[in-house]
Copies of this chain bind each other. A is one copy, B any other.
């Protein structure tokens, strides 16, 4: 197996930097769009053969070093009783958002039966991958799930979520406990089914001040990683807008910390310490630039990292739908080209 990705997660030396891209299976690929003409996003997630097919599309198209199971960070919310729908052009919507203590009390406990589709998708995908590259499983982190569950969708200011947090901290933490329980059921289930690494997406945690993050989000993430540690699979923690949170996120207990493009990768790595691996951090919009500019920026990130083991090349956030597909292929080739030279 191509184990560059798993080795880099463990900060072992590799002969070139492994690369994968968040949302590498997605709308920018014609093959994906073709599948989506027949199936909704939730269908793709829940029909194992279709999830596997879509997961493999970028693996077949590009020289990537890891696959990530096609799914959505919000899937843990559904079996708890939240009505999740993906609305074209608007994104995910929760039709019955959590507005008070009563709604938190009514959330249903969830066991692994609720996530059979996910385990099946991972099994089918592992088989189809045939050990070409490792398969990453994932979920949204509790804060990000809570903010969606409370706001009912994406938000600019997170007023409702923060108001609950500040006014009723006990209700907030009770909600976070319940979300953490479900995320753990979901992720342990993915690992048992064959996920070879786990990424926790705390996509919206960057709206919090460091003090709020430490008080309202971090303890729950710590519980997730400390429960997953004994499984032995590499654990990745990622958020955006987290420049000032990184020293705290570093305490969450993952093996790898994901960076967005707001930080310089060398400075951020020095800040969090070299005893943790890092992933990132090309601005996804750079993939819209002319090829020489993409080349220059890929090379810049690799040169900043140098020969230090424990770097996984990635974007600083997910690939955007309109990204030119040949630019994706080129960026991956630049990573191969310049990391081989750098580490020779």
Contact = CB atoms under 8 A, between A and B. Distances in A.
A162 interface: yes
Given A243-B243, A285-B163, A288-B166, A264 B210 contact: yes
Contact of A289 (B166, B243, B244): B166
A261 interface: yes
A166 B284 CA distance: 12
Contacts of A79: none
A60 interface: no
A286 interface: yes
Contacts of A106: none
Nearest to A162: B285
A132 B211 CA distance: 36
> Counting chain B CB atoms within 10 Å of each CB, which of A241, A244, A286, A290 scores highest?
A244
Contacts of A167: 288-290, 293
A244 B264 CA distance: 8
Contacts of A163: 285, 288-289
Given A166-B286, A243-B244, A244-B262, 20 more contacts: A157-B284, A157-B320, A158-B285, A159-B288, A159-B322, A162-B285, A162-B286, A162-B289, A163-B289, A166-B285, A166-B293, A167-B290, A167-B293, A209-B262, A210-B263, A210-B264, A211-B264, A212-B283, A243-B262, A244-B264
Interface of A: 157-159, 162-163, 166-167, 206, 209-212, 241, 243-244, 261-264, 283-286, 288-290, 293, 300, 320, 322
11 contacts: A157-B284, A159-B285, A159-B320, A166-B285, A166-B288, A209-B261, A209-B283, A210-B262, A212-B283, A241-B241, A243-B262
